Amino acid sequence: MGGDIEPGEARAPLTLASIASRVGVSVNTVSRALRAPNTVRAELRREIAKAMEELNYVPNRLAGGLAGTRSDIVGVVVTSLYYSEFAAIIDTLQSSLLASNLQVMLANTRYDADQELKLVRSILSWRPAAVAIIGVDHHPKVSELLRASGVPIIEMWDIGGDIIDSAVGLDHQAVGAAQASHLIERGYKSLAFLGSVRENDARAQKRAKGMQQRVLAAGLQAVTMATKQESGHPDLGESLALDLLKRHPDIDGIVCNSDVIAFGVLRALAKIGKRVPEDIGVIGFGDSEASSCITPSLTTVRPDRENIGRLTAETALARINDGASRTVRVEWQLIERNSTRSV
């Protein structure tokens, strides 16, 4: 499923003359402030930096500094490189772009909004042919910079929000609702959402919201949240599950924000003698390579990562060639295995 949207309003990149005019100095003074800041007094440097910030100006790192020049680079900004979460997307995206003689410049924000801003500024300074970035929820200044850049922008992995230009991804609230429905239909009644949910992980938050809405619509008690703002790993899943069941021994269904977290949850349940799926059902997200190999095998959600990478490349190439902006909903599958009851 997919549809077209109107391109985000964009403008051609600004020049040094625009900054000079704003501050009331010569172009040479602005140039020196950028290239040899020690030759410009501190107060004036601050005025120039303020003007650049207000006008969303990004320096041009390309040789010659021509404002209209575009490189053969596509900037790709991800939020994590742990556990190969986005590896298949990047691999497929890169292969597809290389076929059109475009190179990937990869940046990892580590879910840090300030780091995202720095990395986007840096990528834009290379005058990329396009930018592909994880998510639709960004540092406000990032959204401003991307909208003002005049560069095709493709937001990946999520389509649930205000889209800058084009987007290719999942409806994460629908995923969360489906995870809850799967457990409810199999007789689980007291549900928890567990895992690593950092402040800027909007996708996990949307899945938790979709789960909560589905649970309340079914007339069940509200979802119990058991989360921490740190990197996801099995040890975190284990500690969160042990603490959760001490506080809420009635919990009989757990939705994990990732498969890696779910592996730790299953380990915790084995330690305390809880049977899976008889006593507690567990569902993950991501369908990692190990999910079908562990005992019990893990019920999870499989996003079509390769398709996201391919469609992002297709969208980027179309936008580079002045094609229309679009939003593409990518399908996903809920893979039922032994960690939840069969119907």
Q: Which pTM value belongs to this model?
A: 0.81
Share of residues in the chain with pLDDT > 90 (%): 73
Domains 1-57 and 172-303 share a fold: no
User: Which tokens belong to 25?
Assistant: 């100095």
- In the prediction, which pLDDT does 94 show? 97
- Residues 176-190 have pLDDT tens digits of 999 999 999 999 999
Q: Quick one: fold of 172-303?
A: Rossmann fold (3.40.50)
- In the prediction, which pLDDT does 65 show? 46
- In the prediction, which pLDDT does 207 show? 98
Among the residue ranges 29-33, 175-179, 203-207, 309-313, the one predicted with the least confidence is 29-33
- In the prediction, which pLDDT does 232 show? 87
Residue 219 has pLDDT above 50, yes or no: yes
Sheet of 281-283, strand order = 224-228, 191-196, 253-256, 281-283
Distant-in-sequence, close-in-space partners of 163: CB < 8 Å, separation ≥ 6: 5, 8, 136, 155, 327
Please check whether residue 237 is in contact with residue 301, taking contact to mean a CB–CB distance below 8 angstroms.
no
Helix (H) or strand (E) holding 22: helix 16-23
Average pLDDT over residues 109-137: 94
- Classified as helix, coil or strand, 76 is strand
- In the prediction, which pLDDT does 10 show? 46
Residue 2 has pLDDT above 50, yes or no: no
- Residues 103-117 have pLDDT tens digits of 999 999 999 999 999
313-339 burial code (b ≥16 CB/10 A, e <16) = bbbbbbbbeebebbbbbbebebbbbbb
Distant-in-sequence, close-in-space partners of 70: CB < 8 Å, separation ≥ 6: 127, 128, 129
- In the prediction, which pLDDT does 13 show? 56
Among the residue ranges 4-13, 279-288, 321-330, the one predicted with the least confidence is 4-13
Helix (H) or strand (E) holding 123: helix 113-125
- In the prediction, which pLDDT does 12 show? 53
- Residues 69-92 have pLDDT tens digits of 678 899 999 999 887 789 999 999
Domain segments of the chain: what residues? 1-57, 172-303
Residue 192's DSSP bridge partners are 224, 254
- Select from 126, 152, 128, 123 the least CA-distant residue to 74: 128
Cα end-to-end span (Å), the chain: 29
- Whole-number mean pLDDT of the chain? 91
- In the prediction, which pLDDT does 69 show? 61
Q: Does domain 1-57 have CATH number 1.10.3720.10?
A: no
